[in-house]
Structure 1
Amino acid sequence: MATITKIHGKTGLSFKITVHCGYDELYRKRRHYKTYRPPATWSEQYAEREAQRVAVEFENSIRQGFRLDNRKTFAEYAAYVIDLKAHTGTKHSTIELYKHLCERINPAIGHFKLTEIRPQHLNRLYVSLAEDCIKHSADNARAKVNLGALLAERKISRAALSRQAKLSPSTVTAACRGQTIRQSSAESISSVLSIPPQELFDYFHSEEKLAVKTILQHHRFISAVLSQAEKEMLVTYNAASRATLPKARRSKVNYFQPEEITAIVKALESEPLKWKLITHLLLVTGCRRGEIMGLKWDRVHLDKHYLTIDNNLRYSKARGIYEETPKTGETRYISIPTETVSLLREYQAEQEQLRKFNGDRWRDTGFVFTQDDGRAMHPDSITAWLAKFSKRHGLPHINPHAFRHTVASVLIANHTDVVTVARQLGHSSATTTETYYAHLIEESRVQASECIANVMLRRAIPSDTTSQSSPGPVNNQRSL
């Protein structure tokens, strides 16, 4: 039975509704509370009748299983959901992303109780993220001294600094080149070198606004939190499902033209075998960067000409280099051509010589691509090496993901069905492939339509004299 307490406070008339529902493990009565504030223009008698109706609805929702908790805030429940996902197998990289998103979400709606969150609150948050937020909440930094010369003077390699500061090699390289890095990264470098940050770096605020894609990441996390609350019957509906979202413009897919691929392959001939093979695998498989770096020899089937892709190498500041399943969590099998098999055999022999040379120093990790002592390579090292490679050979900037798009474009241009393309790339479904490469698929369909028209309709029309002297079928037709 619900009890109603009338309260005359500073803000006007309100009603505190209490519903008793069973006992807890210490045999204490379970109580659920709801505060109802009628409009100030209503008479007290009419407000009391409305409060009784609200109390009945509230009690019925409790009896049906809902536990409308007016005290639990979004920030508290979001932390619970993140912990729940971490214990039920969600990838570490995703958990780290959720925590990062909370840094912007909690100041805006973290103090709201779950039952108070409405679509308009989320709409205001998304507008604020688009107009007022920058890419990083912390300041950025840029070295004001020759950091590379300082490391050489102290006889510290970039790789050693990367390990001690728990930063990616690409971040250390960027700092040495005088490029912009995050303030936290600059402080880590300064700590390792035992030099005050202000002596090594200049700090400044980033002015770059958040991308729509990033704002949608915030929305998806909020929706996941409220969806869990709805499942646990803490709220009656998911407010995020009724919010108005910004529209993302899909960026143009960056892929290489045939002449660019030829130039890249030619330039690779003068590069070390390991990096030549890494780039070659990116080009012929369409795998993600971490999938190539996570490849192990027991997943390379040279005699049968295929690779098993079931591992992904990642890096985080909290865990360092670690392994996890590919993005979709599924294993896939990718055929490789004879040229790739030959390169793998050649590199396998080279790595064996390196292992013998290192002796006891060698760490047998099983990875195909390793550091000089057998340890796993940093997944970011591909990006850093390709940037240097492109500059060294006068090529346009090479992004590892562009190889993936190139494989997709080649398959689609050759009329490979979407399901096969999705399996090659490791997409969760063919729908993902169709959405991402919609314009390429449409171009391929237009070409197919033209091909049909060429064969069926566009035969060369013979002249009158030719038709009279040659009544047989016309064999010449427009080339495809």
Structure 2
Amino acid sequence: MAGHIQKRGKDSYLLVYPMGYDQNGKRIRKTKTVKAKNQTEAKKQLAAFVTEVETGSYVAPSHTRFADYVKLWRKDAAKKVAPKTIETYDYVLNKRIVVALGHFKMEDISHVHITDLIESLASNGLSSATIQKHYNVLSSIFKLAVRNEMIQKNPMEKVDKPSVTYKAGNVYNSDELRQLFQILNEEENKQMALMIKMALKTGMRKGELLALQWDDIDFDKNTIHVRHSLSYTKLNGYQLKEPKTKKSIRKVAPPSQLMDELKSHKQIKKTDRNNAVELWDGGNHFFVFSTDLGKPFFPGVPNTWLTRFFKRTGLKRIRFHDLRHTAATDLINKGANIHSISNRLGHSNIGTTMNIYGHYLEEADQKIAAMLEDDYI
């Protein structure tokens, strides 16, 4: 049999596979250090090692540490994903993953290490969606490592992918929603009040609202064309990109009263632009929601304003994203078709809508059942 073994220490053997000589007459050989109870077991490992070498599946240990390889992976990822996504990757990596695995050599990381890390994330109270982000990053790293022949086997193959449990969040019921609109109608900051109304009546995401431009609004056809989302990174500043999914590019029909408010708001924005003259900071863009000088709002601005608004008015506090959930549940309560709701929200498929709002649909169906009881009176 090709190859031989050399005892290196207690339960340690060096597997050697000679491969002839190079052009300079230097001997070529592949080696691998293994743990074995005795020579018989070591010879079995030698046979497997020879097979790996001869079939080209053997990958020599690189001794590269995980923390160092992550830097190489990040350069590769930066060519394929948006800057905002890279920022998210950096946070996920630096906060927990590199802390837990950074000191390991790539070939020494097993599925056990990764499973322990995933389980620790759950025990620390991270959401299922956040845990899945950690899984996806790890999966991408080790896939590239296998492709680059840094490791032979991908440890992620034995790690169960975490499932995402959707939460509908806190929403306003019909009475609370009616009260909210009454207070918004009296709000001095008409622009921010209009943004909140837009979120509640169109179900648009915050990034989609911030990216909205006047060219996206067709007053004649009473439609809003959602085709961009606004993001911000420290490295690249503001960026307009396509929305979350392909189905997120959509047309939404708002109530006529909301369109009337948008017409009035447009006149104010035109005045702002005319008054700004050379100080106009919107460039070639004309955003629906912006500063007086046309610059788009920083993504945190609507959140901060909404928090202060709830504190000032005493209304039930919800997150900005919960305005979107409220929009969906309000449509369910009004008897809207689930397919129409899914399309209006720009979900990638109806399954996503069902996962998030399934229990609200069940509640609405129970109300219908109660109405049908009248036939038996």
Q: TM > 0.5 between the two?
A: yes
In 2, are the aligned partners of 1:123 and 1:245 still within 8 Å (CA)?
Answer: no
Residue 379 of structure 1 aligns to a residue in which SS?
coil
Q: Which residue of 2 aligns with 1:91?
A: 82
| Residues in 2 aligned to 1:93 and 1:226: alpha-carbon distance in whole angstroms | 22
Q: Residue in 2 aligned with 1:126? A: 118
Gaps of 5+ in 1: 134-208, 461-477
Q: CA deviation at 1:411?
A: 2.5
Residue of structure 2 equivalent to 1:191: none
Give the aligned partner of residue 79 of structure 1: 71
381, 385, 389: which one pairs with 2:301?
381
The structure that has the greater radius of gyration is: 1
TM-align CA RMSD: 3.4
Q: What corresponds to 1:107 in structure 2?
A: 99
**CA distance, structure 1, for counterparts of residue 148 and residue 225 of structure 2:** 39
Q: CA deviation at 1:97?
A: 1.3
Q: Deviations over 1:257-280 (max 9, x none)?
A: 111111111111222321222111
Counterparts of 2:19 and 2:204 in 1: how far apart (Å)? Answer: 58
Q: Is 1:35 aligned to 2:27, yes or no?
A: no
- Whether 1:406 aligns to 2:322 is no
What residue in structure 2 maps to residue 349 of structure 1?
Answer: 267
Q: Which residue of 2 aligns with 1:318?
A: 235
CA distance in 2, matches of 1:107, 1:17: 36
Q: CA deviation at 1:420?
A: 2.6
* 1:51 aligned partner: 45
* Aligned AA (2:276): N
Paired residue for 2:288? 368
Deviation at 1:67, TM superposition (A): 6.0
Q: In the alignment, which residue of structure 2 is the partner of 1:284?
A: 201
How many residue pairs align between the two structures?
370
Is 1:336 aligned with 2:254? yes
One-letter amino acid matched to 1:15:
L
Comparing 265-274 with 400-409, greater Cα deviation is found at: 265-274
Shift, 1:400, TM fit = 1.3
TM superposition shift of 1:22: 12
Distance in 1 of aligned mates of 2:321 and 2:364 = 22
Task: Map 1:150-189; keep pairs closer than 5 Å.
Answer: none
| Mapped pair 1:259 → 2:175 | yes
1:127-159: CA deviations, max 9, x gaps? Answer: 44456x7xxxxxxxxxxxxxxxxxxxxxxxxxx
Could you tell me which of 239, 262, 283 is aligned with 2:155? 239
The alpha-carbon distance between structure 1 residues 79 and 283, as it changes in their structure 2 partners (threshold 3 A), is: same
The equivalent residue for 1:424 is 344
Aligned to 2:12: 13
Q: Is the 8 A contact 1:6 1:15 kept in 2?
A: yes
Deviation track 1:348-387 (CA, whole Å, cap 9, x = no partner) reads: 1111112222222123432111111111111211111111
Contact 1:283 1:403 in 2 (8 A): yes
Between the aligned partners of 2:150 and 2:110, the Cα distance in structure 1 is 14
1:226-265 per-position Cα deviation (integer Å, ceiling 9, x unaligned): 2344556665554224235778765552111111111111
Give the secondary-structure state (helix, strand or coil) at the position aligned to 1:85. helix
Cα distance change on mapping 1:233 and 1:305 into 2, 3 Å: farther
Once residues 111 and 153 of structure 2 are traced to their aligned partners in structure 1, the CA distance between those partners, rounded to angstroms, is 11
> Which one-letter code corresponds to 1:355 in the other structure?
R
SS at match of 2:230: strand
Structure 2 distance, partners of 1:85, 1:285, is 34
* Structure 2 SS opposite 1:357: helix
- Residue 19 of structure 1: how far off its partner (Å): 7.8
Q: Distance in 1 between matches of 2:109 and 2:5?
A: 25
Question: AA paired with 1:287?
Answer: M
Range that drifts further, 222-231 or 433-442 = 222-231
Is 1:217–2:208 an aligned residue pair? Answer: no
Letter in 2 for 1:58: E
- Against the structure 1 CA distance between its residues 371 and 19, is the aligned structure 2 distance closer, same or farther, given a 3 Å change threshold? farther
In the superposition, the TM-score normalised over structure 2's length comes to 0.85
Identity in percent: 25
The alignment partner of 2:35 has SS state of coil
Q: Hey, what's the Cα distance between the residues in 2 that align with 1:369 and 1:375? A: 9
| Greater alpha carbon shift after TM alignment, 290-299 vs 324-333 | 324-333
State the distance in 1 between where 2:269 and 2:69 align.
50
Which letter does structure 1 place at the counterpart of 2:100? A
1:203 aligned partner = none
Cα distance in 2 between the residues matched to 1:22 and 1:246: 49
State how far apart, in whole Å, the 1-side matches of 2:2 and 2:241 are. 51
Structure having greater relative contact order (Cα 8 Å, sep ≥ 6) = 2
Preserved contact between residue 226 and residue 240 of structure 1 (Cα < 8 Å) = yes
**How far apart are 1:56 and its partner, in Å?**
2.9
Give, as a single letter, the amino acid of the residue that structure 2 aligns with 1:116: D
| Distance (whole Å) between structure 2 residues aligned to residue 223 and residue 28 of structure 1 | 42
